[in-house]
Amino acid sequence: MPYSIFGNKFTQHSGITELMDDLNEGVKGGEELLMLGGGNPASIPHIEARLTELMQELLDQGKLVDTLANYDGPKGKDTFAIAIAELFNELYGWELTSDNVMLTNGSQNAFFYLFNLLAGNFNDGKKKKILFPLAPEYIGYADASVSEDAFVAVRPKITELENQMFKYNVDFDALTITDEIGAICVSRPTNPTGNVLTDDEIEKLDVLAKANNIPLIIDNAYGTPFPNIIFEDVKPHYNDNTILCLSLSKFGLPGARCGIVIANTHIIKAMANLSGIMALSPGGIGPEIVLPLVKNKEIIELSDKVIKPFYQQKSQIAINLLLSKINNKNFRIHKAEGALFLWLWFKELPITSNELYKILKEKGLIVVSGHYFFPGLDQDWQHKNECIRLNYAQDSEVVEKGISILADTINELYSA
């Protein structure tokens, strides 16, 4: 059956669908797979117990059925939007109203709306693109535009650190904003690398965005104030030219599919119109469950005292395992500053990262090949094929087994 141009674009192979297919294989069970590829958050007993309590309370009060039995508006649950605005105003003095907040069916849904609003073909005949000032970037961005060739990215500066660590920084000398750029987009912490853009980098990007009359989009799915899987002391950033995107997924509710967008009212109205056309309204279960935690600020306490230290400890354990098991001077780990992932760099890797992914999959270990994380960076760069993303958030036994398989494979490849 022939498909439209749209159909052909969205039925072809992509990194994000491969990742989610792998994740689904792990969920279905069957043969033992060590799932260190996808972005599923960890099972944190205290968080799961608290969410279970909240759901039981909603069920007892009849609110859970009421939420399931009714549509919200295209912006999502009003009570939750009001609570989010009040929370951020109290924390940061941002002077938001509920008109600055909307919900989406997950962050991926939000970025599809934003990228297609701000980039693509325009009525004046121009074509605009989304600029990623620091590649590598999130795998899910790559196919989130209806238009072809909708992204442009800039190679990072790489600083090698002690103990086989390294860090990416924005190369502002290589960063050029032309009239074809419709928005600047960064994730903070960055998925896949765990990199956290410094306050200075964010301020410089904000200045560039304002000077060129384009928005700065900040993907804050892992950031502060919730779920606060961020290990650096940085300031939250927002102003009328910023589009700040958050999520309930990494707080422990990925299945609820709840993204949160904070932006000026023009952006929110445009996104709400898209939401009404494409989805009628976003799901209300996640917001209803978490609403009490937002109102009493318990979401901040749980993020600070439970979620953040849990992941920080797990990341360090995984780093120590990797460094002890991989005995090669060419191996590097990006400094772990947040998110659920370790970004591993194998200098002069004898095969491509995608070939490494396939070998590891045959051995029962799922990771993600690094070459998928460079949307908009078309230039040939060997580094793109020397990295993989590893999720350290799974059970300790799974992480240790997976790292052992990876280490044995890498040690063999370099010694061959």
Co-location of 99 and 121 in the same domain:
yes
Task: Report the predicted TM-score, pTM, of the whole model to 2 decimal places.
Answer: 0.94
Model confidence pLDDT, tens digit, residues 341-363: 999 999 999 999 999 999 999 99
Give the C-alpha separation, 92 to 399, whole Å. 37
Query: What pLDDT is recorded for position 57?
Result: 97
Give the C-alpha separation, 370 to 373, whole Å. 6
DSSP H helices, 220-297, are 265-279, 285-295
Q: What is the CATH number of the domain that holds 326?
A: 3.90.1150.10
Please identify every stretch of the chain with a pLDDT value under 70, giving residue numbers as ranges: 13-31
Query: What pLDDT is recorded for position 237?
Result: 97
Query: What pLDDT is recorded for position 28?
Result: 45
Query: What pLDDT is recorded for position 17?
Result: 64
Q: What is the CATH number of the domain that holds 187?
A: 3.40.640.10
Q: What is the extent of the structural domain holding 259?
A: 48-299
Co-location of 77 and 10 in the same domain:
no
CB 81 within 8 A of CB 246: no
Give the C-alpha separation, 138 to 125, whole Å. 29
Co-location of 333 and 220 in the same domain:
no
Co-location of 307 and 295 in the same domain:
no
Report residue 195 as tokens: 């990199």
The answer to whether the peptide bond before residue 287 is cis (omega within 30 degrees of 0) is: no
The number of folded domains in the chain is 2
